Each structure stands twice: as structure tokens, then as C-alpha cells.
């Protein structure tokens, strides 16, 4: 259900990511620090404790950098830390559910969606898609870190603040398009219903202790 808190969180996250990228485009680190602070505020509004701790860390980094305690030259690395942490967190969330005895994250969402067909074939597909998402976010993190240490901060920013969310949207839509054409296997596939499932707290309940 769409709530005011979710609207504020979404707008804050988008503005935060936008300010971080604009900080690199305009070569003004202060703008990037404001973006980190806004992103941290949006993340702290709601979500599991582990998510809030990640965003609390981002806020602490922003405060530390903005206070002038950071060594000269490390500002760009600290600004990139926020989106890198988010992508790293996403990689771990998907990847850890692939461990033996765990339920892959996409399998969990598929089973929670009562309109989706349940079968061993669907479970194999959702496990594969979970691995694909984990690999995607790992590639984003690696590419960003490589570009950053090569001194190409603007390229790193493009990867982690623009390509990552845009690619995520494309991957999400393509997978649903595949499900649409394989209705015989998956049943009814709906982008909006999947988004509602992802946003539902019960779909995440027991994630750490499943198996």
C-alpha cells in the first residue's frame, strides 16, 4: 500500500542518488555529501534493521566527510561509498539466499504471490534469476571500484548511480516479459503485483532464518 512514508522515502532516495551523481558532474563534493545525507535519511525511515544500519553508516560517512576530517583526495571515494554499499547490500541479500538450506529470494517472492504457479520448474527458474541478480550487483560493485581506483570517478558514478538502477529496471521488465510469454509455466505475471509483493513486509519475514 502506498503511504506517505514510502513516498518520502522514494523521493529522498532518488534525490540523494541524483545529487551524488551531480556532485561528480559539477565537480562539487559538497553536493555529493548532501546527496549521501539525503539517501541516509530516506533509508532510515523504514525497513529491516540491517538496512537501517547500512544507511546509518552512509549518514555517518557523509557527516564525517562534510566535517572536514577526511584526508585530502578521499572525498570522491567517500561519496561513492553510499551507492556502492547499497549495491553490495543488494548483492549479499540475493547471494546469501542461494546458500544450501536457504530459499532463493525470487523463489520466496514467487511463492508469496498466490497468483503464481508453484512447481519444481518455477523454483529452478527463480533460483537462476536470484543468481543473476546477485551476479549483476556484484558486477556493478566491481566495475565501480575498478573505475574509482583508476581515478575515473565520473565513470564510476555513471556506473553505480545511473547504469545500476536503469539496468535493474530493464532486467526486472525483461524477466517479467519472459514470464508473460511462458504463462503456461508461470501463470499470470504482473509487474505491479510483483512490486506489491516486494513491498509487503510478510514477504521478507524470516528471511534470515529460513531453510
Find, among 79, 98, 173, 196, the residue nearest to 138 by Cα. 98
Distances in Å between the Cα of 194 and the Cα atoms of 119, 125, 197 are 18, 16, 5
What is the C-alpha radius of gyration for the chain, rounded to an integer number of angstroms?
A: 18
Q: What is the pLDDT of residue 78?
A: 75
| Sign, CA torsion 18/24/27/28 | positive
pLDDT at 81 over 70: yes
Of 115 and 20, more confident = 20
pLDDT value of residue 74: 62
Q: 133 with 175: CB under 8 angstroms?
A: no
State the pLDDT at residue 143. Answer: 95
Most confident of 46-55, 130-139, 150-159, 177-186: 130-139
Specify the pLDDT at position 134: 97
80 contacts: CB under 8 Å, gap ≥ 6? 20, 144, 148, 153, 156, 157, 160
User: pLDDT for 13-59, tens place per residue?
Assistant: 788 788 888 877 777 777 777 777 877 777 777 666 667 777 777 77
- Return the pLDDT at 2: 54
**Average pLDDT along the chain:** 81
Amino acid at each position: 500500500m502506498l503511504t506517505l512514508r514510502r513516498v518520502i522515502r522514494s523521493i529522498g532516495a532518488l534525490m540523494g542518488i541524483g545529487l551524488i551523481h551531480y556532485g561528480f558532474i559539477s565537480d562539487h563534493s559538497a553536493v555529493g555529501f548532501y546527496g549521501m545525507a539525503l539517501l541516509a535519511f530516506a533509508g532510515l525511515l523504514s525497513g529491516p534493521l540491517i538496512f537501517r544500519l547500512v544507511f546509518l553508516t552512509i549518514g555517518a560517512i557523509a557527516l564525517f566527510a562534510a566535517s572536514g576530517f577526511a584526508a585530502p583526495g578521499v572525498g570522491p571515494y567517500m561519496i561513492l561509498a553510499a551507492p556502492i554499499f547499497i549495491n553490495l547490500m543488494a548483492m549479499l541479500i540475493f547471494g546469501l539466499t542461494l546458500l544450501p538450506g536457504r530459499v532463493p529470494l525470487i523463489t520466496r517472492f514467487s511463492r508469496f504471490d498466490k497468483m503464481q504457479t508453484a512447481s519444481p520448474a518455477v523454483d529452478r527458474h527463480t533460483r537462476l534469476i536470484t543468481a543473476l541478480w546477485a551476479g549483476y550487483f556484484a558486477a556493478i560493485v566491481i566495475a565501480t571500484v575498478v573505475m574509482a581506483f583508476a581515478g575515473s570517478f565520473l565513470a564510476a558514478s555513471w556506473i553505480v548511480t545511473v547504469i545500476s538502477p536503469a539496468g535493474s529496471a530493464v532486467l526486472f521488465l525483461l524477466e517479467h516479459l519472459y514470464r508473460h510469454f511462458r504463462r503456461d509455466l508461470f501463470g499470470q505475471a504482473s509487474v505491479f503485483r510483483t512490486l506489491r509483493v516486494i513491498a509487503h513486509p510478510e514477504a521478507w519475514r524470516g528471511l534470515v532464518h529460513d531453510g
